[in-house]
Amino acid sequence: MVTEYEIISHGLTSYKIFFNNMLYRAPHVHKDYEICLVLSGKMQINYRNASVSLDADDLFIVNPFQSHEFIAQRPSLLLILQISSSFFSTYFPQIDNLEFIQDKLRVGEGRNLILRSLLLDIADLHFRRPQFHEFKAIAQINLLFYHILSCFPHTIMPEKEKSRSQNKATQMRRIMNYIDANYSQKLLLSDIANEEGLTLSYLSHFFRDAFGITFQTYLLKMRCEKARKLLLCTDLSLLDICISCGFSDMKYFNRGFQEQYGHTPREYRMLFEEEQLPSQQEALLTTQDILSKNASLAILSRYYPGSCSD
């Protein structure tokens, strides 16, 4: 399992909206708010020490700099809006310190249904691009956040706390990058503590608080995920995979891998070749399909009948 820092490029705008046929998205963080609407299927979002299950028409918001992971048993269709706080900061400066208290919303009725409609309308404007669509998109995004702030519990963090949150995210990124660069060799938490100039006790607590799991669990998940990719995509021997992914011996490799996937590495490779694995486990490190403009317009015609008119 690789935790990534995602750099979102908005082009000339401060937002990005897209349809995503999601099966799995490795743990990652980014500096934008992420609003996720499930259009079909079921999705689980893991973050810190919590896990939220989402069904069709559920909506969830991820705060900036918060590590999160998407998991589904079968591909689920999501509409995702990623938006920078800078979009609102000139007239609502509190947004830079605003944090939503995580909870999902069922958007099937009342005011919550407005959120679904607004998200689809923004997507329609983005992909269909009628004349002057930029002005209407900006208006709809502001209206969307008006309703989101009315529906979702949130808090305004003090400046010191916000600064600590950003510093924490920066440190998380450095730690993730260090682990990703060194997972294939013997790696101890004390190595990272020395690299960061921290005590072992402090880093152990920081890691559990930031990622929701211990360092050893994180490292095991990451090595197993790297090994799974090599099992499915190469003809390397099990011993070569064991060594290249940083496992100390085959016994530890077999035990850790079976703990993660329910099969030994040998069994897993055989089941994949015989097409007997669940689709979720056939996925590699990150399985997501961001839909093209034409595919997105087809989705809009199904979920947003008003997309054919201005």
For 199-209, give one letter per residue: b (16+ CB within 10 A) or e: eeeebbebbbe
Indicate whether 83 belongs to any domain: yes
Write the pLDDT tens digit of every residue in 88-103: 999 999 998 998 986 7
Which range marks the domain in which residue 40 is found?
Answer: 4-158+286-308
- How far apart, in whole angstroms, are the C-alpha atoms of residue 264 and residue 116? 43
Instruction: State whether 93 and 216 are in the same domain.
Output: no
Are 153 and 15 contained in the same domain? yes
Residues 227 and 253 sit within 8 Å (Cβ to Cβ): yes
**Most confident segment among 6-20, 120-134, 278-292:** 120-134
Look at residue 280 in the predicted model and tell me its pLDDT.
44
Q: Count other C-beta atoms under 10 Å from residue 111's C-beta.
A: 11
Find the CATH number of the domain harbouring 192: 1.10.10.60
Residue 253 lies in a domain: yes
In a domain, 177, yes or no: no
Measured distance CA(3)–CA(247) in Å, rounded: 19
Number of domains in the chain: 2
Structure tokens at 169: 């995210």
State the chain's mean pLDDT as an integer.
85
Claim to verify: residue 122 and residue 187 sit in the same structural domain: no
Same domain, 127 and 188: no
Query: Same domain, yes or no, for 43 and 13?
Result: yes
DSSP structure class, residue 291: P
Instruction: Check residue 4 and give its pLDDT.
Output: 56
**Amino acid 195: pLDDT:** 93
Q: Would you call 300 exposed, middle or buried from its count of C-beta atoms within 10 A (0-12, 13-18, 19+)? A: buried
In a domain, 171, yes or no: no
Distance from C-alpha of 106 to C-alpha of 54, rounded to nearest angstrom = 9
Q: Is there a single domain that holds both residue 97 and residue 38?
A: yes
Same domain, 302 and 202: no
Residue 21 lies in a domain: yes
Query: Looking at residue 162, what is its pLDDT?
Result: 75
Q: What's this model's pTM, rounded to 2 decimal places?
A: 0.71
Same-domain check for residues 141 and 11: yes
CATH number, domain of 86, equals 2.60.120.280
Q: Are residues 230 and 154 in the same domain?
A: no
Instruction: Work out the pLDDT band at 105, boundaries 50, 70, 90.
Output: confident
Q: 180 is written with which tokens?
A: 């990703």
Sign of CA dihedral 269, 270, 274, 280: negative
